[in-house]
Structure 1
Amino acid sequence: MKFPSLFLSISLIFLGSYSLSSKDNKPSASAETRVESILPTAPESGSPWGDDASKLESISILNLIDEKNSQKRWQDANKEYSTAIDQFELGRKTIEKNREESKKEVFYEDRYEWQKQIRRENKEKEFQKQIFDLRSQTVAKLIKGMNLLDKIENPKVKESAPYLDLKSGIYREYIKHQEAFKNYLQVIDFTERYMELSSKNEAEAEPHRLLALSYEKMEQTALKSKNQELYYEFKELKKKHLLRFAEIHYGRESKEYAGIEEKVGKDF
């Protein structure tokens, strides 16, 4: 995938160290993540960002195009998307089942509590590694789906609902896994791309919640790197998406919106 120049500059800047020039305006290095304390921790009910990802039926789009390979690429991308969803859900359930079963196991050789604790911790590390590997395999399938869609160049197809719906679905799943990996630059990049696909996507609350959280993480990274310019840029972007989330999720006339607007006004 090709990344915008902004993200290349950010990555390069974090390799160096720059000094915050103003002592009076110097932010506190001890500041903790605060966005999580005022936002919901999960997508709203009925959101396409929920745990149950929506799959798309294989449909004909030949009437929209004059490129004979477009339909096959769309169908292949849809297959990668559907397989990624199914395999991750099946794998996740299997890991959860094994985790619950492991809690019932008794090892009589563990006479002391510290021995039992070590065994539990080691077992949990195994499960975390399995989830990590499962996510990595899922991401690989989603990237394959993205690449297949990117090979479709026909303008009519790229503007069609089947194309936009499938690309949106792939992006959503990809973003969820990148958030789990704590790859916040990837979350930001693909959430911005997701919203650019359609006005419907931009009008969803969840992308703005994810962006507010991710920009705050990057804000703290910029602070640790002593980069004043990026610190304030990320802070403004965080506030922008906080307000947009509150507007969509709560409504501009709500007390929740007023509360978040007040925090933003106080340079939250």
Structure 2
Amino acid sequence: MPTAALHVARTGLDAQGARMRVIANNLANVGTTGFKRDRANFATLAYQDARVAGQQSSTETAYATGLNLGSGVSVQSTTRIETQGVLQTTGNSLDLALDGDGYFQIQLPGGKLGYTRAGNFSRSAEGQLVTSQGYQVLPPIQIPEGTTQVTISDDGIVSASIAGQTEAQQLGQLSIASFANPAGLQASSNNFMLETGASGVAQLGVAGENGRGHIKQGMLEGSNVNIVQELVDMIETQRGYEINSKMISAVDEMLRNANQTL
């Protein structure tokens, strides 16, 4: 019936609207440190089987094809694209980037643990290595007073040159978290990811070992959003939305003609 077609077209509008929101969020975060773009995944809704293939068409024959009427589409999920962003040199000794897989571990308020690729860290008033929100980087790194230079190696060893001392003092070593299924991490605000049952438990280890990326001091990882690709996806989504809108107009015209005729 035409009313069923209206419902199908409406699901198309909803799905394309959700995809446009995903694209808008990608473009909004094109300059966000360590941001990973999302992709909307679609799935068909339930089908009405008016006739099943193989069903008897007579006492001696069976239908070679079925009659299946779809009920529309929905956004099944979003997939985070984990490709590496471009590493940008900043010259700030506390800016860190991961060249490869893995996440920095952060102590969030309330005892929660967060994971991030955004390594734009700072030194707090107490000398701790923290994020821009003031959350402590784990394992804790305490930078002593009088430090003139902080050096962080590719494997995360943090050393400080202190005024009046000839040799650098080792402060600790940063650990990198890896997950069996990084796509299962829950995206949160302020560039943080949260562990879920789908992601698996965080496995902490040394940077550069067992598939974990190396730490690059004085650099930040840029967003992996490709503006050209997002614009192409945006135009495609807009066209899909327009077509579903025209479908609603066409069905409405069919119903109007039917009412006038009958």
TM-score range, shorter chain: under 0.3
- Larger Cα Rg: Structure 1 or Structure 2? 2
Q: TM-score, normalised by structure 2?
A: 0.24
Task: From the two aligned structures, give the one with the greater strand fraction.
Answer: 2
Task: From the two aligned structures, give the one with the greater helix fraction.
Answer: 1
